Amino acid sequence: MYPFSQPIESPMRLIANCPFCMRQYDPLQAQLVGSTDTTHIWYVSCVVCRHALMVAVLVTEGGVNSVGIVTDLQPEELTKYRDLSPITADDCLLLHASLAGDRDFVSLV
């Protein structure tokens, strides 16, 4: 276990302001949506402009790093899609082949 591996209580120390409107996030609005020993995934939404971020907080021997990713998903969707298998190159090729044919895209969905 890393020396910095104590649970991250909130990503607000790392990402305090909305990158769109610069309004300070409400720390009580942050939701933990996933966690491992070294990674914590948080969901934060701006109460002013309604933009949302998925914030990945990585805890390593060298310290704590964070990355904020703009998302249009809701917290429950992040949890739902988190456990799906990743899209493979074969999946992409199959979709490409299907779209290249004479079939209508709506019929594929």
Lowest-pLDDT choice from 1-5, 28-32, 51-55: 1-5
Find out whether 47 and 26 touch, Cβ atoms under 8 Å: yes
> How many residues are recorded in the chain?
109
- Give domain limits for the chain: 11-84
pLDDT tens digit string along 83-96?
889 999 998 998 88
Does the reported pTM lie above 0.75?
A: no
Contacts of 74 (CB under 8 A, 6+ apart): 52
pLDDT tens digit string along 6-45?
445 555 566 788 888 999 888 888 899 988 888 889 999 9
pLDDT at 51 over 80: yes
CA distance linking residue 72 with residue 75, whole number of Å: 10
Q: What per-residue confidence (pLDDT) applies to 60?
A: 85
